[in-house]
Structure 1
Amino acid sequence: MKQIILFCAAAAMLAGCTASEDRIAFDGKYFSTKISKVDGQRDVFTLLVKNASQSIDGAREAARYEATVYCVSNYGSSDIEWVVGPDTPPENLRLVENSLTFQGSCPS
């Protein structure tokens, strides 16, 4: 019984390590993102990047990465048509409550 408990504890610790290793840093920082479809259209999305003020460049790259994953997962293509995207000049991005919002679509 003691061995089973130790095994479970070790497995839980290992799972925790693996999860943190799967995170990707952008400009040396980690960002929380949330992608949502717009008006029930799966191809049109908004993407919120939280804690963006820690690195605007990193937040922009985190958005590019998450949108690419989303489009590849749903449409098999990394093509994205941005309305407000990672290449939008920084002076045209609005930081609201420490978050940046991007919008684009996956061409189908």
Structure 2
Amino acid sequence: MITDVSKAMAILALCGGVLAGCDGIVNDRPTYAGVPFKAKAKAVNKKETLAVFTTAVSKAPRSLEGARLAAHHEGTRYCIENFGSSRIAWQINPLDTDVAVPLDGDTAVYGGTCTP
């Protein structure tokens, strides 16, 4: 015979399983230097050309090294997606550690041109 306590325990176990499964949804973002970043690359002027783009990495001060890697990865992804090539002429190369990370508030902003 199923008691009310057994039903409650079954419901709690089911809810726990569902919540545990949701953990991967939030943490699917790749990490750079151990930190997940939100990075977005977009054309500066879509009407003129898709080749010239900017990459913005939110909350960059959490790890400047990670923000550099995220910007480089996102720029590379953008150029491959739009031009089939990973070649980029960066205004400031995100992988150049001799140059400070260009910040706009807490967002790292890099510019480049896809060179197919």
- Equivalent residues in 2 for 1:1-108, closer than 5 Å: 14=21, 16-40=22-46, 41-89=49-97, 91-108=99-116
Find the aligned partners of 2:84 and 2:25 in 1 and give their Cα distance. 25
Amino acid of the residue matched to residue 39 of structure 1? N
Amino acid of the residue matched to residue 63 of structure 1? A
Find the aligned partners of 2:110 and 2:98 in 1 and give their Cα distance. 12
Equivalenced residues, count: 99
RMSD, aligned CA: 2.3
TM-score by length of 2: 0.71
Q: What's the secondary structure of 1:22's corresponding residue?
A: coil
Find the aligned partners of 1:106 and 1:13 in 2 and give their Cα distance. 40
Shift of 1:23: 1.5
Shift of 1:35: 1.4
Shift of 1:33: 1.3
Gaps of 5+ in 2: 1-13
Find the aligned partners of 1:104 and 1:55 in 2 and give their Cα distance. 22
- Name the residue aligned to 1:3: none
Find the aligned partners of 2:93 and 2:23 in 1 and give their Cα distance. 32
Q: What's the secondary structure of 1:84's corresponding residue?
A: coil
Gaps of 5+ in 1: 1-5
Bigger Cα Rg = 2
TM-score by length of 1: 0.76
